[in-house]
């Protein structure tokens, strides 16, 4: 029997190159060897206000992006989180065994709470919903970015805690974190991670950016005052980030890429990186724009129908264990 993989992505904004190289690339590579379950986790996205009409559009476009990147609905299951009620049902059960101090220690919560005194409870409880997403399907492996490792650890702890209280019910999932390329940095500030929520569009390269926009963003990316092209994230984060991106989108060894630019200037590195990214995204963009909304919604409906049966069996087991059935 194949091991089960679960992963989700929020429809809360633009999906960018960092999302793909850091996490989504793993999805396409795993579907031949694992039983893959992928979700557009729309409930997570409303921890901050979303315009309802815009959110619905983002849900469809996010699914469209996942399919255009190579997720095959014949090999993997793709569904929308809110279409499966068991996610919120298990979320509540897990909330009853989660300690508030554990949630307050989450780095993402602390960062956002420090900037906003009126932080919503949904943000605090975000990791519990993530735990429900993962544990509902007896997940073995979760491909995550480095910034999500802490959230997965609380998922593992809640699985152990529930099992200790009520008997063996959940698997304890393992993270899959790609070391190289797992964190693509911002073009305008290479000391921070590329982010779809960044105020400046020059922070990231959206997967749907036009060739002209991609070229403009990379040409304006931050480097340094030196002239040597060298991979050294501590001293030369901007140059190192461009080398990382170029290596990943061309599928070339990083050291070989670095050595090929001996004696060259930053301008050439930027132009070459832009052209490589444009070429890399070309097939994806053709597929993205060829997918109709009706086709995508049909795939999501089929995925939800299949996954609801699995999820309902698990939530029935959980309810019996805690005495609700």
More confident residue, 49 or 115: 49
Computed over every residue of the chain, the mean pLDDT equals 92
φ, ψ of residue 6 to 5 degrees: the values are: -125, 140
Q: What pLDDT does 182 receive? A: 63
The CATH number given to whatever domain includes residue 41 is 3.40.50.620
**Are 110 and 104 spatial neighbours (Cβ–Cβ below 8 Å)?**
yes
Say whether both 223 and 152 belong to one domain.
no
Residue 40 maps to a domain? yes
pLDDT in tens, 34-48: 999 999 999 999 988
Say whether both 77 and 13 belong to one domain.
yes
Tokens representing 265 are 């200037």
Residue 232 maps to a domain? yes
Candidates 135, 66, 63; CA nearest to 301 is: 63
**Are 288 and 65 spatial neighbours (Cβ–Cβ below 8 Å)?**
yes
Q: Is 211 exposed, middle or buried (0-12, 13-18, 19+ CB in 10 A)?
A: middle
Residue 190 maps to a domain? no
Q: What pLDDT does 13 receive? A: 67
Beta-sheet strand order (sheet of 76-80):
76-80, 35-40, 4-9, 141-143, 174-176
Say whether both 24 and 107 belong to one domain.
yes
d(CA 82, CA 110): 26
110 is catalytic: no
Say whether both 274 and 304 belong to one domain.
no
More confident residue, 27 or 216: 216
Whether pTM > 0.75 for this model: the answer is yes
Q: What pLDDT does 25 receive? A: 82
Q: Taking the chain, what is the end-to-end CA distance rounded to the nearest angstrom?
A: 30
Q: What pLDDT does 149 receive? A: 79
Domain, as residue range, for 207: 201-288
- Summarize the confidence of residues 155-175 as an average pLDDT: 97
Our count of domains for the chain comes to 2
Say whether both 83 and 171 belong to one domain.
yes
Say whether both 275 and 306 belong to one domain.
no
- Summarize the confidence of residues 18-44 as an average pLDDT: 90
pLDDT in tens, 174-223: 988 766 556 799 999 999 989 877 888 899 999 999 999 999 999 999 99
Say whether both 317 and 257 belong to one domain.
no
Say whether both 168 and 317 belong to one domain.
yes
**Is pLDDT of 119 > 70?**
yes
The catalytic position among 196, 219, 287, 306 is 196
Written as one string, the DSSP assignment of 253-309 is -HHHHHHHTTT--HHHHHHHHHHHHHHHHHHHHHHHHH--HHHHHHHHHHHHHHHHH
The catalytic position among 58, 64, 193, 236 is 193
Say whether both 93 and 161 belong to one domain.
yes
Candidates 67, 13, 2; CA nearest to 38 is: 67
Residue 257 maps to a domain? yes
Residue 207 maps to a domain? yes
pLDDT in tens, 284-324: 999 999 999 999 999 999 999 999 999 999 999 999 999 99
Written as one string, the DSSP assignment of 94-156 is HHTT--HHHHHT-HHHHHHHTT-TT--HHHHTHHHHHHHHHHTTT-SEEE--GGGHHHHHHHH
Q: What pLDDT does 180 receive? A: 55
The CATH number given to whatever domain includes residue 272 is 1.10.240.10
Residue 209 maps to a domain? yes
Greatest pairwise CA separation for the chain in angstroms: 71
**How many CB atoms neighbour CB 264 within 10 A?**
13
193 is catalytic: yes
Q: What pLDDT does 1 receive? A: 84
- Summarize the confidence of residues 86-103 as an average pLDDT: 96
**Is pLDDT of 168 > 60?**
yes
314 is catalytic: no
- 245: Cβ contacts below 8 Å, ≥ 6 apart: 17, 21, 184, 273, 276, 277
Residue 195 maps to a domain? no
Say whether both 163 and 210 belong to one domain.
no
Say whether both 307 and 271 belong to one domain.
no
Reported as a pLDDT band with limits 50, 70 and 90, residue 110 is confident
pLDDT in tens, 212-250: 999 999 999 999 999 899 999 999 999 999 999 999 999
The catalytic position among 75, 112, 287, 321 is 112
Say whether both 228 and 98 belong to one domain.
no
Residue 193 maps to a domain? no
């Amino acid at each position: 029997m194949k091991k089960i993989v679960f992963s989700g992505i929020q429809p809360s904004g633009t999906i960018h190159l960092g999302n793909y190289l850091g996490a989504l690339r793993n999805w396409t590579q795993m579907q031949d060897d694992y039983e893959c379950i992928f979700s557009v986790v729309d409930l997570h996205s409303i921890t901050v206000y979303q315009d309802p009409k815009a959110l619905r559009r983002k849900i469809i476009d996010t699914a469209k992006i996942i399919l255009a990147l190579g997720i095959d609905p014949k090999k993997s299951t793709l569904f929308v989180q809110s279409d499966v009620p068991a996610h919120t049902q298990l979320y509540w059960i897990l909330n009853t065994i989660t300690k508030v101090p554990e949630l307050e220690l989450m780095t993402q919560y602390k960062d956002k709470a420090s900037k906003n005194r009126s932080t919503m409870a949904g943000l605090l409880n975000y990791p519990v919903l993530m735990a429900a997403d993962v544990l509902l399907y007896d997940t073995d492996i979760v491909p995550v970015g480095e910034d999500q490792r802490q959230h997965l650890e609380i998922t593992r702890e809640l699985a152990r805690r529930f099992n200790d209280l009520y008997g063996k019910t959940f698997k304890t999932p393992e993270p899959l974190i790609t070391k190289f390329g797992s964190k693509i940095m911002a073009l305008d500030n290479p000391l921070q991670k590329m982010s779809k929520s960044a105020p400046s569009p020059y922070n990231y390269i959206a997967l749907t950016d036009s060739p002209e926009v991609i070229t403009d963003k990379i040409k304006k990316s931050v480097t340094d005052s030196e002239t040597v092209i060298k991979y050294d994230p501590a001293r030369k984060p901007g140059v190192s980030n461009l080398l990382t991106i170029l290596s990943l989108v061309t599928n070339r060894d990083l050291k070989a890429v670095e050595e090929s630019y001996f004696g060259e200037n930053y301008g050439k590195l930027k132009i070459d990186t832009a052209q490589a990214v444009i070429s890399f995204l070309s097939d994806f963009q053709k597929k993205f724009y060829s997918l109709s909304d009706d086709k995508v919604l049909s795939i999501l409906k089929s995925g939800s129908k299949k996954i609801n049966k699995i999820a309902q069996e698990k939530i029935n087991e959980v309810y019996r264990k805690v005495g609700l059935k």
